[in-house]
Amino acid sequence: MGSDNEVNDVQTNSRRRFLGKSAVLGLAGAGVLAGCKENGAGAPGSASASAAAAAGKSHGASKAHVEPGQLDDYYLFSSGGHSGEARIIGIPSGRTLRRIPVFNMDPMVGWGITNESKAILGTKPDGSLKYTTGDTHHVHGSYKDGTYDGRYLWVNDKINSRLARIRMDTMECDKITELPNVMGFHGTFPDKCDPVDKAINHTTRVFCGAEFAIPFPNDGRDLDDPSKWGSLFTCVDAETMAVRWQVRVDGNMDLVATSYDGRFACSNQYNTENAADQAGMMAAERDACVFFDVARIEAAIKAGKFTTIGSSKVPVVDGRKAANADPKTSVTCYVPVGKNPHGVNASPDGKYMVCSGKLSPTATVIEVALVAKWFDGELKTERDAVVAEPEIGLGPLHTAFDGKGNAFTTLFLDSQIVKWNVAAAIAQFKGDKSVKVVLDRVDVHYQPGHGYASMGETKEADGKYFNSGNKFSKDRFLPVGPLHSETEQLIDITGDKMTIVSDHTAYPEPHDAIIMRRDIVKTRQIYNLDDFPNKVTADNAGIERKGNKVHVRLMSQAPAFSMPVIKVKKGDEVTITLTNHDKVEDLTHGCAIPTFNINFIVNPQETKSVTFKADHAGAFWMYCTHFCHALHLEMRSRFLVEA
């Protein structure tokens, strides 16, 4: 009888074999995986795959261990998926450091409860939140001189087509913009320098790709004729968060990337067929990566060559192929790539964009300089900008880079990460049959979606870690019911061979993330009292009544609120403004009132407010929810509502 480890290995490989075969058979039946080999090198269940990772066992766990009292080397900033939040994780430890509410409600910090957060989220005329759901997918940071500058993060909401900005000094959302005439806003990416003024070498614009086609305007017209529907690519001002312009395109956009010289934004596209059903979306043998010449778009708008849609005042430029036949005046370039691609990523040297095939076992390498030549009328066809298309495995999705010329792509169907060399792929494309393109494979558990490397989307890609965001965990962790956690696997990519360092759990369903060096992030430890015009001090603290509107101005300093008793009348509209007067790092206070849906925190020197109706009478203990002092339990006031 074999050992427990042998039994576990057999079970694991059997599951991997089942996952791989069932996925391949399903797609093969749809006619989208012609030419793929089930039992090629590294295929699920093959001997080479088992040997490569020994069923996913870690061979470098010590590299992920961070001693008590020591700090991680990197921040990982991740989306939270349909939780609507963003998350901060330490790397290499995998410790969750913070969950940032963005499009969701969070009673711990009071997001969606305080007046300040409601103003950012947006409300209906009755004061309730316009939306209470969100679906975050992609987090990206602001740039200066081709690398992160630690100022902002941006994250999208796919459900309600919103873009949010997070201040990195406080790790809190400070602005949210809803995009007009857009549905299914999926990919987003900031520019790395200004596309018009070359003296500005930091982020000025954020680009947003719409995935779903809709009628223009979406007010009930053309509901039965999807051939008239379309998708818009949107540019948002990085500072004001106002929508600058939009471009109408053919097809559906997925993810977004930007060139290092500022000239181009691009988005991989599926459904270039402009179909309204799944079969139609998979008819073409190739789809596209569409490039946008930002300066030309803005010149066209300045010249008045735009329209608007419905009540929106945002200028819309026509970027469809039919309206852009001449490359020298075109605002878009549609480069043919593999079938139904998923993901586009810029190499750290700024030379290439890599699109993964998803339904093709290939990655397509596009040379940015050749795209520029096409726009200048010096390239015969858009396809001539493709310089490599290596076959790397089944279900390629997202690609990251190590800054040494190597690319790392997630293979969803193979449940692997594949390491391949870009220069070798280009040489192979030119006819060199002796070159070795694929350098290594490692099994992950199971079926990875997004993958990203440390500093991998900057010119400072350091080639230390790759994180594989796996969509299924199955047997990796203790079972907790039908909903499993997901698996984040950290991989050491410093050597010739990739080594799995550790497994981290992730509450479903995170998507993309970035890994940023810790020295870039400069957070503040306490707020500045004077940053809040409504701050409460000894000079204005107290209760002010104007008719049935009552304003309670309150201070907190451990372990007490400034007013032991607060008395109002039933039916009053009550506003409580609370300022935390403590100046000690990490000394946060909470404020909760039972039965009134009031719960929020104030950090040191911060001010927040809530407004609610005192619609029922009685005595209620307003208390501190955030541990702050040895007398924390005694920190409370009586909130009295007279009948």
Q: What is the DSSP string of 304-349?
A: T--B--TT----EEE-SGGG---TTT-SEEEEEESSS---EEE-TT
Return the closest-CA partner of residue 576 out of 538, 549, 605: 549
Whole-angstrom distance, CA of residue 490 vs CA of residue 515: 11
Return the closest-CA partner of residue 253 out of 289, 202, 206: 289
Taking the CA atoms of 57, 60, 62 and 63 in sequence, report the sign of the dihedral they define.
Answer: negative
Return the closest-CA partner of residue 564 out of 619, 642, 643: 619
- Tell me the two tokens of residue 20: 């791989």
- What residues are paired with 440 via a beta bridge? 419
What type of residue sits at position 209?
G
Whole-angstrom distance, CA of residue 617 vs CA of residue 326: 72
Using an 8 Å Cβ cutoff, are 31 and 25 in contact? no
Return the closest-CA partner of residue 85 out of 164, 149, 140, 142: 164
SS3 label, residue 40: coil
Q: What is the pLDDT of residues 342-389, one digit of tens each?
A: 999 999 999 999 999 888 999 999 999 999 999 999 999 999 999 999
Whole-angstrom distance, CA of residue 83 vs CA of residue 104: 7
Mean pLDDT, residues 46-55 taken together: 39
pLDDT classification of 60: cutoffs 50, 70, 90: low
User: 61-110+134-219+229-273+286-520: which CATH architecture?
Assistant: 7 Propeller (2.130)
Q: Quickly count: other Cβ atoms within 10 Å of residue 437's Cβ.
A: 22
Q: What is the pLDDT of residues 572-601, one digit of tens each?
A: 999 999 999 999 999 999 999 999 999 999
User: The domain 529-642: what is its CATH number?
Assistant: 2.60.40.420
Residues of the chain with CATH 2.60.40.420: 529-642
Return the closest-CA partner of residue 324 out of 301, 297, 302, 298: 297
Whole-angstrom distance, CA of residue 290 vs CA of residue 626: 49
pLDDT classification of 473: cutoffs 50, 70, 90: very high
DSSP 531: G
Residue-level pLDDT at 281: 85
pLDDT classification of 571: cutoffs 50, 70, 90: very high
Whole-angstrom distance, CA of residue 75 vs CA of residue 318: 40
Instruction: For residue 193, give Cα distances in angstroms to 157, 162, 236, 622, 623.
Output: 24, 23, 14, 49, 48
Taking the CA atoms of 123, 86, 183 and 295 in sequence, report the sign of the dihedral they define.
Answer: positive
Return the closest-CA partner of residue 331 out of 285, 392, 278, 375: 375
- Tell me the two tokens of residue 252: 């559906």
What is the pTM assigned to this prediction? 0.91
DSSP 540: T
SS3 label, residue 17: helix
Residue 98 pLDDT > 60 = yes
Provide, for the chain, the percentages of residues in helix, strand and coil under a 3-state DSSP scheme, each rounded to the nearest 5.
15, 40, 45
Residue-level pLDDT at 18: 44
Whole-angstrom distance, CA of residue 87 vs CA of residue 572: 38
| Burial degree of 170 (CB within 10 A; 0-12, 13-18, 19+) | middle
Residue-level pLDDT at 20: 53
User: At residue 167, what are phi and psi to the nearest 5 degrees?
Assistant: -75, 130
Residue 47 pLDDT > 50 = no
Taking the CA atoms of 379, 382, 386 and 391 in sequence, report the sign of the dihedral they define.
Answer: negative
pLDDT more than 90, % of the chain: 86
What stretch of H or E contains 118? helix 115-121
Q: What is the pLDDT of residues 155-186, one digit of tens each?
A: 999 999 999 999 999 999 999 999 999 999 99
Whole-angstrom distance, CA of residue 579 vs CA of residue 602: 7
Residue 153 pLDDT > 60 = yes
Residues of the chain with CATH 2.130.10.10: 61-110+134-219+229-273+286-520
SS3 label, residue 152: strand
- What residues are paired with 612 via a beta bridge? 574
Q: Quickly count: other Cβ atoms within 10 Å of residue 3's Cβ.
A: 8
Q: Between β-strands 636-642 and 565-569, what pairing exists: parallel, antiparallel or unpaired?
A: parallel
Return the closest-CA partner of residue 589 out of 621, 562, 553, 625: 625
Whole-angstrom distance, CA of residue 356 vs CA of residue 368: 16
Mean pLDDT, residues 140-156 taken together: 98
Residue 241 pLDDT > 60 = yes
Q: What is the pLDDT of residues 501-515, one digit of tens each?
A: 999 999 999 999 999
Using an 8 Å Cβ cutoff, are 379 and 400 in contact? no
Spatial CB neighbours of 53, under 8 Å, sequence gap ≥ 6: 442, 443, 444, 500
If you search the block for the tokens 């000239």, which residue do you land on? 263
Mean pLDDT, residues 455-473 taken together: 97
User: At residue 538, what are phi and psi to the nearest 5 degrees?
Assistant: -60, -25
Q: Vertex 178, ends 177 and 182: CA angle to 5°?
A: 140
